[in-house]
Amino acid sequence: MSGVQVGPCQLEIFDVAGRLVGSKQWTSLEAGSHDFVWDGKRDSSASVASGIYLVRLTASDKEDRTRFILVR
C-alpha cells in the first residue's frame, strides 16, 4: 500500500462464501506498518468458526487482499 500518506482506511474480513464477518474503519491513518488484532468475532459479537478468511484493506485509491486461517 505504498504511496498513501494520511487518509481514511478500511479493513474488511470475509468468510470463504464472501459474507462480511468483521470490519474496522479509520478516518485518518498514516502510511506505514500497522498491527490489527482481530478477536475472531463478527461485528455482532458472535464468534466465528475455525477456517479460512479473506481480508481486504482499502486506503485512498489502493486496495490489498490477503487470506489467513483462524484456528480455535
pLDDT means per 10 residues, the chain with 72 residues, are 72 96 92 89 92 94 94 91
Query: Which pLDDT value is given to residue 16?
Result: 96
- Give the residue carrying C-alpha cell 487470506: 67
Cα(66)–Cα(55) distance, integer angstroms? 5
Percent composition of the chain: helix, strand, coil (DSSP 3-state, to 5): 0, 55, 45
Kindly report the pTM of this predicted structure.
0.84
On whether the CB atoms of residues 52 and 68 are closer than 8 A, the answer is yes
Query: Which pLDDT value is given to residue 31?
Result: 82
On whether the CB atoms of residues 16 and 54 are closer than 8 A, the answer is yes
C-alpha cell at 55: 481480508
C-alpha cell at 50: 475455525
Domains of the chain, residue spans: 6-70
The matching CATH number, chosen from 3.40.1410.10, 3.90.1150.10, 1.10.3720.10, 2.60.40.4070, for 6-70 is 2.60.40.4070
